[in-house]
Amino acid sequence: MGRLFGTDGVRGLANAELTVELALRLAGGAAAVLAPANSGQRPVAVVGRDPRASGEMLEAAVTAGLTAAGVDVLSVGVQPTPAVAYLTAAYGADLGVMISASHNPMPDNGIKIFAAGGHKLEDSVEDRIEAVLQGENGSPARPTGAGIGRVRVAEDAVDRYLAHLVSTMHHPLTGLTVVVDCAHGAASRVGPEAYEAAGATVIAIGAEPDGLNINLDCGSTHLEGLQKAVLEHGADLGLAHDGDADRCLAVDASGAVVDGDAIMAILALSMSEAGELHDNTLVTTVMSNLGLHLAMREASIEVRTVGVGDRYVLEELRRGGFSLGGEQSGHIVLPAHGTTGDGVLTGLRLMERMSSTGRSLAELAAVMTTLPQVLVNVRVSDKAAVASDPTVANAVADAERELGETGRVLLRPSGTEQLVRVMVEAADDNHARRLADRLADVVAAV
């Protein structure tokens, strides 16, 4: 049996790979590890979901698994992932569970588990939960009678989260008009309400979830509709979230995309000026564009680079006590205000920078010039052999010498397939393409 947990919880095709039986057992395992019966207090779990149809079924199974283990459940209903993380801390719960497959299509779903305080689980904790599921220490005892967990609805959950979001603001958004694409997902209510509460004029699209239309040709993975709406309404900007609203991408008034790298550049400069950027350091992944690194170098801001995945960004943020990190995909983390990426919070802070400076999003984003980036996926028979092959190493070294400080080369094995991803950035698109193809040929020959 392979490892159950992926890079962000347990995910799969709902009712085929991610079944109610698995959800029930997973919830019980999480309860055994994160809320053991011998803790002396009645344990509590916060449970939320995105609006996809299978979430209702899986929420029932997760709730059953938790209550069967003697855990009381606070149901917060349809909420963004960062809201469940925040509410886990705000309610003083022992754990939180979010049922969502984020930006994946509707038939998929996932289960994300948070420890007390709303923190994502470390690998070692996930391993302990998997050990419980595999019965390595026998089956946990189940309570009876009054020991069985109870379920109640947290009626103030949305209000609490909204108040938290608005409390992070220091400058009103009066005068700004924003189109927000909620991906028919978890932010369909709270996103527009938060932006309006902060003072912006809001035009919401993709905000009518029916359980089947989440991420369907909308949201952060399909920006065309947002670009069109921004131009039609003459808005100052557009914001796009994914299904569980832990991401935010933007579109300026002309319809040009402002990705996660550009958003990080804008926020890093803002926080640096305000003395809020700890150690004047930004944390991002190896996939961030070299243009971000060059812009930060110009501003004397250090960039810490980690592996692909928000969990690695979070680990580095916590390790160094840093105050800003994220990914090109729009997953931005502000540890002073949340334990995970929060798309609505990111949108608020981005608009606050526009409002406080009086500058357009295009002007703010111009601090960074995105270098052409070419990515080639090369199918191989042995990823490990490629990593240790001297011919490949020499070819990479030659390409790096040719680029100097004006470009970058990255070879990264796929985590799930026998693929090696060859990425080249250069000042010129043709140069990047030529080097990427040359390296791809060398990799394919191994």
Q: Which residues are catalytic?
A: 102
Amino acid identity at 84: V
Q: Tell me the DSSP string of 70-107.
A: T-EEEEEEE--HHHHHHHHHHTT-SEEEEE--TTS-TT
Where does residue 149 rank: exposed (0-12), middle (13-18), buried (19+ CB within 10 A)?
A: buried
Cα separation, 174 vs 167, in Å, equals 16
Cα separation, 436 vs 423, in Å, equals 7
Give the pairing of strands 373-379 and 332-333: unpaired
Cβ neighbours of residue 25 closer than 8 Å, sequence gap 6 or more = 65, 133
Cα torsion angle, 308, 310, 316, 317, sign: positive
Task: Provide the annotated binding site.
Answer: 102, 242, 244, 246
Distances (CA, A) of 145 to 43, 63, 75, 141, 150: 16, 17, 21, 13, 11
Position of tokens 């790096």? 400
Cα separation, 428 vs 259, in Å, equals 20
Task: Provide the annotated binding site for Mg(2+).
Answer: 102, 242, 244, 246
**Do 311 and 8 touch, CB atoms closer than 8 A?**
yes
Amino acid identity at 20: V
Cα separation, 193 vs 162, in Å, equals 8
How is residue 280 written in tokens? 């004047």
How is residue 266 written in tokens? 């804008």
What is the rounded radius of gyration, in angstroms, for the C-alpha atoms of the chain?
A: 23
H helices of 180-259, where? 190-197, 224-233
